[in-house]
Structure formats: structure tokens, C-alpha cells
Amino acid sequence: KQEVTQIPAALSVPEGENLVLNCSFTDSAIYNLQWFRQDPGKGLTSLLLIQSSQREQTSGRLNASLDKSSGRSTLYIAASQPGDSATYLCAVTFSGYALNFGKGTSLLVTP
Amino acid sequence: DTGVSQDPRHKITKRGQNVTFRCDPISEHNRLYWYRQTLGQGPEFLTYFQNEAQLEKSRLLSDRFSAERPKGSFSTLEIQRTEQGDSAMYLCASSSGAGGWTDTQYFGPGTRLTVL
């Protein structure tokens, strides 16, 4: 079964810290991996998409890496801010067009 | 580009009633997706449309669920004879189709369904 796992389930850090969120997947034959942000009760906002041929993508304070051989991706957030508080979801396309999501990491950045 | 919109945003219904949700994708996006998200879980794929053709369906989409995308524009998701287990956030997403397998999916705000 193709599964996506995210660790930790929840994370609390003081403002200004750099942090890493982890995502692992069971099948290395992926088409792409996407990181999303979800605010409480809201839809998903796409942060970064990494194609299977890429190793990383960067957008502002965010950097996502992909290691297909080990079935892992990390989302690095630099200089965290209270506004970064949200749930971060990792999603993998194994086949077809469906995104397969992890359960997410709930991030709280305290002032 | 106004983004993906969904209507209604919230729906409360009684068990056994039928409900219908609407999704309007980003203009000119030819791919449309439906997902379901329950509390504390990531979204789960339900179905996918390429223009008006429904090309992929999850086993989660029981015979009580039906989705349409007439004319390849907006889409509707209908749930017949609702059950309490159908209570969830129903999310719609669209993508341009230009990226092949690597399309970025853009999500709407979701419709939260509560079945009493």
C-alpha cells in the first residue's frame, strides 16, 4: 500500500527558530511531491512542488528537498514567525493524478 | 484569476437527505479533483475530471456519491441518503493540465458537511 507519513504530528517553537518538517513515503516511484499549508477550517495553499527529477525547491523562507531513493522529503522553514502557525501537509503523486496526503504536522510558532 | 470557489461553505443536513455541492475551478483549468477530509486526517482523493470526462474514481466513492462536470466547467458532487460518516470537509481542486503528471493542484476553501 502506498502511504505518506509525516513526523512530528505537532511542533511548537519560539519565534525566530529554524525548523524542519519531515515526510516519508513508501514507494520511490513517484511523479511529484507537493507541500501545502492549511489554516484551521480553511482550504489548502500550495507552497512548493518538487518534480520527481528535482532534488529541491525554494520559495522565500521555505526550502523543500526530495530524496526518492530513501523515500523522504523535508520542508525547512527559516526564521519562523507566528504567522507560520498552521498545519503543513505533504502530498505525493504515485500514479494517476491523485494526491496522497500525510496527516500533517501542526506547527505553532510562539511570540 | 479568482481562484477555486466552492458553494456552499457549510451544509448541515439530517441523515437520509440528499446534498449537492458545487465547485467552480480556476478559469481555463481543464482538470478538476474532489477530495474529502475528516478531522485530524489529510485529504483523501475521491475523483478526477479531465474536461467533462470522469477519468479516475476512488473506492471511497460509493454508489451514494456521484460527481459531474457538464461542459467541462463547474462540477457538482452529490451525496444521496447521507450518513453520519459522510460528515467531513469536501475539497475541490483544479489544475491547468499544462504540466502533465506534474501539475500543481490549487484548492478551494471547501464545503463542510455535518450530518445530524
* Min distance B40 CA to chain A CA atoms (Å): 7
Contact in structure between B3 and B108 (CB atoms under 8 Å): yes
Nearest CA in chain A to B9: A42
Say how many C-beta atoms besides its own lie within 10 A of residue B38's C-beta. Answer: 13
Instruction: Using alpha carbons, select from B111, B64, B67 the residue that is nearest to residue B90.
Output: B111
Partner residue opposite A49 with nearest CB, options B58, B104, B108: B104
User: Can you tell me the mean pLDDT for B95-113?
Assistant: 85
For B61-86, the pLDDT digits (tens) are: 889 999 999 988 999 999 999 999 99
The gap from C-alpha A41 to its chain's centroid, in whole angstroms, comes to 19
Reply yes or no on whether the pLDDT at B99 is more than 70: no
Residue A77 is classified by DSSP as: E
The gap from C-alpha A89 to its chain's centroid, in whole angstroms, comes to 5
Residues on chain B touching A104 (C-beta within 8 angstroms): 42
Reply yes or no on whether the pLDDT at B2 is more than 80: no
What's chain A's average pLDDT? 93
B9 grid coordinates: 461553505
Q: How confident is the model at residue B90 (pLDDT cuts 50, 70, 90)?
A: very high
Nearest CA in chain A to B31: A97
The whole-angstrom separation of Cα B61 and Cα A38 is 24
Residue of B102, B106, B113, B114 to mutate when probing chain A, most A C-beta within 10 A: B102
* Min distance B38 CA to chain A CA atoms (Å): 10
